[in-house]
Each structure stands twice: as C-alpha cells, then as structure tokens.
Structure 1
C-alpha cells in the first residue's frame, strides 16, 4: 500500500512564548488592505469580527508600532487601513515565507524519499 507523504512547514513569530505573527495574521492584514474594513476582512476569512479585532489589538499593542489603524463608524462608516509598520511587517514576512517555502521545496523529494 502506497502512503501519501507531505512535508509541511509553518513559520510564525513568538513574543515571550506567545504567538504574535504568522500566516493567519498575515492573511488578515492582506484582507484588511484589500477591503479597507476589518469586518469585511473577517467575513471574507470566515472569522468572527471579535476574533479579528482581538488579533489586530494584539498586534497593535505588542508590536513596536501599530500595524492597523481603525476608524470608527458614523455617517461615512468606519474602516481600517494598514500603517506603514503593518505594510512593512507583512511584506517582510511574505518575502521570508517565500524563501522558506522555496528551500523546503528544493529538499522535499529527497527528504520524503528517505521516509
């Protein structure tokens, strides 16, 4: 019987042993940037607004600088946008993740061939 083998890797950043930034938060920032709205980003990701808001608050409080600027609702409605720090963190994480993925792909056949 042939087994299906797969090599998976996930990269995230911990601060004081607690997850701070990884693929899920990167995706949230991408969706905020795309939609200009935290609620639309959360909805598109199938996530509750409350969870998305908590993630943004955590990044904004524990990061060196806030990653997302939230605008309260009103007549024109609210919104959200990435700060320069948020854009830089997202871009750097994506580049790093791409390099990690490329490296893993280069060695996948060899590694899985040994298992």
Structure 2
C-alpha cells in the first residue's frame, strides 16, 4: 500500500522565546481587514471575541507599533481597522510564506522520494 507523504511547514515569529506572530494572527488581521470588525473577524474564524481581543492587544503591545485600531461602539457601532504597520506586517508575512511554500514545492518531490 502506498503511503501518503506530505511536506509541510509553519512559520512563527517569537519575541523573547514567546510566540508573537504566525498563521493564526495573520488570519485574524486578514479577517479584520475584510470585515472592519473584530467581533465579525472572530466569528468568521470560529474564535471567541475575548480570545481575538487578547491576540490584538498582545500584538499592539509587543509590536513596535500597534497593528489594529479599535473603535468603540456608538450610534453606528464599533469597528476595527489595520494600522499601516499592521498592513505592512500582514503583507510581508504573506509574501514570506509564499516564498517558503514555493521553495518547498521545488524540493518536495525530491525529498519525499527519498523517504
């Protein structure tokens, strides 16, 4: 029987040995940008608002500059938007992952053929 082999990788950024940014947070930023709302982004990801809010707070506090600007509710309700820093981090992380995946694809057949 033929075995199913996969070559996979995930990339995270640690600060002082603690996870700071990775695929989950990148996805959260993408959903915030798409929805203009932290609660809608969390809901679309199947995540609690509290967890999403904690992730945003962590990024805003430990990053060099805030990634997300939250707007409190009012007559039109609240909202959220990425800062320029948040947009740059998301874009750069996505490009980096695309490059990593291209490299994996180039070597996949060779390495999996040896296993």
Deviation at 1:2, TM superposition (A): 1.1
CA distance in 2, matches of 1:89, 1:20: 12
Note the 1:16-55 alignment, pairs <5 A: 16-55=16-55
Deviation at 1:74, TM superposition (A): 1.9
Residue 113 of structure 1: aligned partner: 113
Gaps of 5+ in 1: none
Tell me the TM-score normalised to structure 2 length.
Answer: 0.98
CA distance in 2, matches of 1:53, 1:64: 18
CA distance in 2, matches of 1:80, 1:22: 20
Tell me the TM-score normalised to structure 1 length.
Answer: 0.98
Matched, 1:94 2:94: yes
Measured on the aligned residues, the alpha-carbon RMSD in Å equals 0.5
